[in-house]
Structure 1
Amino acid sequence: MPAPTEKTRPLRLDAERNRAAILTAAATVYAERGSHTSLEEVATLAGVGVGTVYRRFPTKGLLIEALLEATMRDYAERIEAFAVQAETEPWEAFRGHVMSLVHMQAKDRAFSEVIADPASSSDAFRDHHDRALRASLALTARAQSAGVLREDFHHRDLLILTRASHGIVAAGDPEDVGDPVRLAELFLEALRRR
């Protein structure tokens, strides 16, 4: 039997504790301040040395991938659920999708960065982006077919909202989600076919 490699060998208890502390600290600072926050700041908040952070996550990109993997999977699953809901409740599903997206952006600046510019995000998220896009396209097509979403709506309009919301989130108070939510409400009001 081959010897375990560093990737397959289970972490020692203290190393696992450090990894968990690093992820918890990164979740806090990246959600509040975005991914521009340094690994040194993450290490300080985690109560570990910066060398420990680099040992577990050699690059900031790898730390962000580990941190956002579950969030990106949840994002794709939410949109898939809204696409199913759109079969019977097309407007409610479209509205739910838009509001869920904006709330997720307002809650987590690092997620907002990734979702506002999918082309530049990590390949690790490509599958989640692709799943989310397919579901979102199906959802909007159902809403348009049902006559509840304006015919001139183009899916790119949703990316424009995502980027506008990201700009508001990046410039604003992390505790105040009101502005991106208000923008989304106005967006929805403009798109609803009467």
Structure 2
Amino acid sequence: MAERPLRADARRNRELVLKAAKEVFAASGFGVPLDEIAARAGVGPGTVYRHFPTKEALFEAVVTAQVQDLVAGARERAGDEDPGAAFFGFLARLGEQAVSKRDLTDAIAVPSAVREELHEVLGELMRGAQRVGAVRADLETADVVVLLKGVLAGLHDSSLGEVSAERAARLFGVLSAGLRGSGG
């Protein structure tokens, strides 16, 4: 049986919740309480739960579009003539997005189909770069994901000061240097 379309007010409330959640997750990450998202959206907590039964469901709805955009960009890079440049260009893009999107750490960690797709395309890029010697041959996709999670989490550690584009570029530069193979 097909789902009934939402009434106009319910659709508007859902969009308000998604917009607020996108802003709050980007600024604070997954740890933000749903009540805070409801308040930012100008709706009650019950409205949030009617549309998204769990915080995980809301988070997945918010980050799915963000991660799908990353996946599409990575797939475009997979066809580049220089697999090393494609892989390291993708890492640089992650670094740029990490500055304003605190939820990127959680987006690559929270189990979901789109996260699996991101890991898959990251692996494709990495293996292409490994074939030409641009990335160390002894690395697996899971290794790179662990390193990315660490850099992203550290980047947003409030005890280390404000997040800046310069710090992100520097950290992703160090990460890239450590991943480079003998031909890269």
TM-score over 0.5 for the alignment?
Answer: yes
1:95 aligns with: 88
Aligned mate of 1:111, from 104, 107, 130? 104
User: What SS is found at the alignment partner of 2:103?
Assistant: helix
CA distance in 2, matches of 1:34, 1:129: 16
Amino acid at match of 2:168: P
Amino acid at match of 1:110: D
What root-mean-square deviation, in Å, do the aligned CA atoms of Structure 1 and Structure 2 show? 2.3
Contact 2:17 2:37 in 1 (8 A): yes
CA distance in 1, matches of 2:50, 2:141: 41
Structure 1 residue 180 and structure 2 residue 176: aligned?
no
Structure 1 residue 17 and structure 2 residue 15: aligned?
no
Output one character per residue of 1:6-54: Cα deviation in whole Å (capped at 9) or x when no partner. Answer: xx11111111111111111111111000111111111111111122112
CA distance in 2, matches of 1:59, 1:191: 37
Cα 1:136–1:171 shift into 2, 3 Å? same
Contact 1:80 1:135 in 2 (8 A): yes
User: What SS is found at the alignment partner of 2:136?
Assistant: coil
2:50 aligns with: 55
Amino acid at match of 1:111: L
Amino acid at match of 1:101: L
Contact 1:107 1:174 in 2 (8 A): no
4+ aligned runs moved over 3 Å, structure 1: 150-157, 172-175, 190-194
2:65 aligns with: 70
Higher Rg: 1
CA distance in 2, matches of 1:157, 1:48: 42
CA distance in 1, matches of 2:64, 2:23: 15
1:150 aligns with: 136
CA distance in 1, matches of 2:42, 2:132: 54
Output one character per residue of 1:69-103: Cα deviation in whole Å (capped at 9) or x when no partner. Answer: 21122222222222222xx1122111111112223
Amino acid at match of 1:187: L
Contact 2:67 2:107 in 1 (8 A): no
Contact 2:156 2:163 in 1 (8 A): no
Deviation at 1:175, TM superposition (A): 5.2
Deviation at 1:153, TM superposition (A): 4.1
CA distance in 1, matches of 2:36, 2:116: 32
CA distance in 2, matches of 1:159, 1:104: 16
| TM-score using structure 2 length | 0.84
Deviation at 1:170, TM superposition (A): 3.2
Deviation at 1:66, TM superposition (A): 1.3
User: What SS is found at the alignment partner of 1:58?
Assistant: coil
Cα 1:75–1:174 shift into 2, 3 Å? farther
CA distance in 1, matches of 2:79, 2:43: 45
| TM-score using structure 1 length | 0.80
Sequence identity percentage: 31
